[in-house]
Amino acid sequence: MSASGAVDARTTTAIVRRPLPVAVVLAVLLVAAVLASASIGAYSVPVGDVVGAVLRRMNLLSSVAADPVADEVIWVIRLPRIALAVVVGAALGCAGAVMQGAFGNPLAEPGVVGVSSGAMLGAATQIVTGFDPLGVWTLPLAAFLGGLVAVAWVYLSSRHEGRTEVLTLILMGIALNALASAAIGFLAFVADDASLRSLTSWTLGSLAQATWGKVGVVAPVAVLGALGAVSLARTLDLLSLGDHQARHLGVSVERARIRVLLVVALLAASAVAVSGVVLFVGLIVPHVVRAIVGPAHRALLPLSVLLGAVVVTVADTVARTLVSPAELPLGVVTALVGAPVFIWQIRRLRRIHGAWA
Amino acid sequence: MTSTGAWMACPDMRAQSAVLVRGGAKVCDGVSLELRGGEFVALVGPNGAGKSSILAMLAGDLAPASGSVTMGGERIVDMDARVLARLRAVMTQGTDVTFPFSVRDVVQMGRYPWSDTPDAAGDDAAVSRAMSFVDVAHLADRTVTSLSGGERARVALARVLAQHTPILLLDEPTAALDIRHQELVLGLLRQRVADGCLVVVVLHDVQAAAAFADRVVLVDGGTVRAAGSPREVLTAEALSATYQFPVAVDHDAPGGASIVPVRRGGARPSL
């Protein structure tokens, strides 16, 4: 409770770095990552030809492609996949930032606490039952409903007197992840061959079989979620203090909570619907952004969108090139980087708050 | 009604036979209080007496199981959060902040109830003034997570002041403060009372209550044992009975009321 004598100035002085230059840097990084990713692969295409292929498709360049195969590879195979990586990363980064704010806890993220599993179970149920009243929108809707139930359950069960009980939060996540994977295992058992294939390509998270059609379905869902998140920025600052303090400052906590849960479910659904469960992106990304520009959500949310997009674009490029011609699941790559960060976070929190049990 | 001058009119507050149940136990039993602007009210009493619970009911955090707690005639738990936040500010014990917000960010949060109103134009001025009032202006760019307990308490107070409400409900605002800052803060609250505000403070320091409060409410066993001027309420008999420890009281001591535990044979055992 008392001040210790000498304190490291770097940790005590609030970060006053302006968010705008950081946003510019991240945007440049994103463009670079996209171009690099489009250029790298089994069929290598120089970056100049990547730009040329895009411009030709948009009728901004009339010259004939020197290598028509390269144009096809770029436009039909690589770019849709990269677009999905951008959407998934943006959605997960943003979802993590929203959840950490709403839970007032830096360990909350869609994968760890089971929201992605819930969304996945919803989507898996749809795939296996084949129940399809809304065409391409059925799958994201099923993922959304699954994610909503999961996040509402985790939220309501891990809160006590307006604050998050960390241990309950993590244990609920374990329980939900176990429950969802058991249910998905059961679904896989009863599934026919075709649905089993799409189910398994998912379980570890993969962006293979990307199409522009999928991009068209999940991108609007993610954009809706991200806009909802940004509109909640100032409220999230206050919610991170705990329910009582937020209410003292004029936040209608019940209403804000419902909006938060909807936003998280939208974001998680847009990611899970195409990539399955991708762990830890929602954990690392907001954490890094907070270390650069501080915890205020007005900057944290948009920058988490950008950094999330960069991270998953790079991770997916690694996933599909590292063991080429085979492919690593995207979830494996993010977990390899993310799990150590998660462990480090737990140790840091433990140092601050003491052991939990 | 501007952020630089007067406050919104101070509504009366009233608790009528309020009963509060937490975890199956009655923590408040039949609390009745009438509070109005221009009053400095101190809630005093032993640990676990129910002071914080009474404050939580007045703040609208906890709803009474029976009886009522109202502000301007309206039940507080039914009031719109935003409207309520323009009328009363609350400082609770244990104002932990998980994320490393800067001190300025935290004080700025006190302006949230005024966003989208004409008063939002005065946000920066209100934040700077609140920070200098409680002597944290020099900490503006520090992270709250790096501050000492006393500094954090002053930041929480600055946030409460920046909220610019006619009613202030404070749970032990001075518990972690040194003598200078305790006097600074209590003097500041006195000033607010002179301007027509209602200040309700939970205080463990009975001498401070005697020196600053217009009205002292002695709480014990979840109910109000006595309420009135410090001289009426803070008697040796009443305090000794409530705290179950002999207390000597001299309201006319030089330099203000002296209320001290009677330490027989000296405080330090002589060897």
Interstrand relation of B198-202 and B39-44 (parallel, antiparallel or unpaired): parallel
Partner-chain contact A14 B102, CB within 8 Å: yes
Cα Rg of chain B (Å, integer) = 19
Walk me through the domains of chain B, giving residue ranges and CATH numbers.
13-261 (3.40.50.300)
CA angle A310, A312, A317 (to 5 degrees): 100
Q: How many CB atoms lie within 10 A of CB A29?
A: 17
Residue of A nearest to B145 (CA): A12
pLDDT at A4: 35
Q: How confident is the model at residue A122 (pLDDT cuts 50, 70, 90)?
A: very high
Q: Are B4 and B125 in contact (CB under 8 A)?
A: yes
Residue of A nearest to B111 (CA): A249
Partner-chain contact A247 B115, CB within 8 Å: no
H helix runs in B68-148, sequence order? 81-85, 103-109, 123-133
B132 touches chain A (CB under 8 A): no
Walk me through the domains of chain A, giving residue ranges and CATH numbers.
84-353 (1.10.3470.10)
Can you tell me which residue has the tokens 């909802």? A228
| Cα–Cα distance measured from residue A351 to residue B11, given in angstroms and rounded to the nearest whole number | 45
Report ipTM (2 d.p.): 0.90
Per-residue pLDDT of chain B (271 residues; tens, 9 = 90+): 444 456 788 999 999 999 999 888 899 999 999 999 999 999 999 998 999 999 999 999 999 999 999 999 999 989 999 999 999 999 998 767 778 899 999 999 999 999 988 888 889 999 999 999 999 999 999 999 889 999 999 999 999 999 999 999 999 999 989 999 999 999 999 999 999 999 999 999 999 999 999 999 999 999 999 999 999 999 999 999 999 999 999 999 888 889 999 987 665 655 5
DSSP at B118: G
Give, rounded to a whole angstrom, the gap between the first and last alpha carbons of chain B: 63
Q: Which residues of A touch B (CB under 8 A)?
A: 1-3, 7, 11-16, 104-106, 234, 237-238, 240-241, 244-245, 247-253, 290, 294-296
B103: chain A residues, CB-CB within 8 Å: 14
Q: How many CA atoms lie within 13 Å of A27's alpha carbon, on the beta-carbon side?
A: 7
Helix (H, G, I), strand (E, B) or coil at B66: strand
Within 8 A by CB and 6+ apart from B58, the residues are B13, B15, B35, B69, B76, B88, B169, B200
Q: How confident is the model at residue A308 (pLDDT cuts 50, 70, 90)?
A: very high
B163: chain A residues, CB-CB within 8 Å: 249
| Cα–Cα distance measured from residue B239 to residue B236, given in angstroms and rounded to the nearest whole number | 5
Does the CA dihedral A266-A270-A273-A276 come out positive or negative? negative
Mutation target to probe the A interface, by most A beta carbons within 10 A, among B97, B106, B109, B123 is B109
Q: At what angle do helices A138-158 and A166-190 cross, to 10 degrees?
A: 150
Chains A, B: CB pairs < 8 Å: 95
Amino acid at A57: R
Q: Are A48 and A67 in contact (CB under 8 A)?
A: no
